[in-house]
């Protein structure tokens, strides 16, 4: 099976699950972003890895990394939303140009190692 098709299906499923959770013209708080991300991940049985607020092209942006699936079937997602409001961007970490995307897989590996050590 072509992993690119799986990536697109996953992105589409997340975007469809969001519906009207994110107002386009309204500034968004960290709590509102967390609520949107939790709802989106619940729809695809995803797990939040981390979230943060970063400066991207001169504006604050909320970014969350998540994983969906286990083992070799695990996929990494990046969800981002401008703090000033706008559209939630959902993309697989492998296709993302956001620097936080490179951290997602490494962070998941670290968490796996810590679980084993505990």
The 10s digit of each residue's pLDDT in 64-105 is 999 998 888 889 999 999 999 888 888 998 888 888 888 888
How much is the pLDDT for 58? 87
Q: pLDDT band at residue 4, thresholds of 50, 70 and 90?
A: very low
| Angle at alpha carbon of residue 100, lines to 62 and 9, rounded to 5° | 85
Determine how β-strand 89-92 pairs with β-strand 46-56. Answer: unpaired
> Smallest Cα–Cα separation from 85: which of 27, 36, 15, 20?
27
How much is the pLDDT for 17? 60
Least confident window among 18-27, 59-68, 93-102: 18-27
Across 104-114, average pLDDT: 83
Residues 6+ positions from 113 with CB-CB distance below 8 Å: none
Please say if the pLDDT value at position 21 is more than 80.
no
Determine how β-strand 75-82 pairs with β-strand 59-68. Answer: antiparallel
Helix axes 3-18, 30-43, angle to 10 degrees: 120
Provide the mean pLDDT of the chain: 82
Please say if the pLDDT value at position 30 is more than 80.
yes
pTM of the model: 0.74
Q: pLDDT band at residue 2, thresholds of 50, 70 and 90?
A: very low
């Amino acid at each position: 099976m072509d992993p690119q098709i799986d990536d697109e299906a996953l992105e589409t499923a997340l975007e469809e699950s969001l519906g009207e959770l994110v107002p386009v013209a309204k500034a968004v708080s960290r709590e509102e972003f967390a609520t949107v991300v939790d709802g989106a991940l619940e729809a695809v049985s995803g797990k939040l890895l981390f979230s943060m607020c970063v400066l991207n092209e001169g504006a604050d942006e909320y970014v969350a990394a998540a994983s969906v699936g286990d083992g070799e079937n695990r996929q990494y997602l990046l969800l981002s939303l401008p703090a000033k409001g706008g559209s939630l961007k959902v993309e697989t970490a492998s296709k993302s140009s956001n620097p936080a995307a490179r951290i997602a897989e490494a962070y998941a590996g670290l968490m796996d190692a810590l679980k084993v050590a505990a």
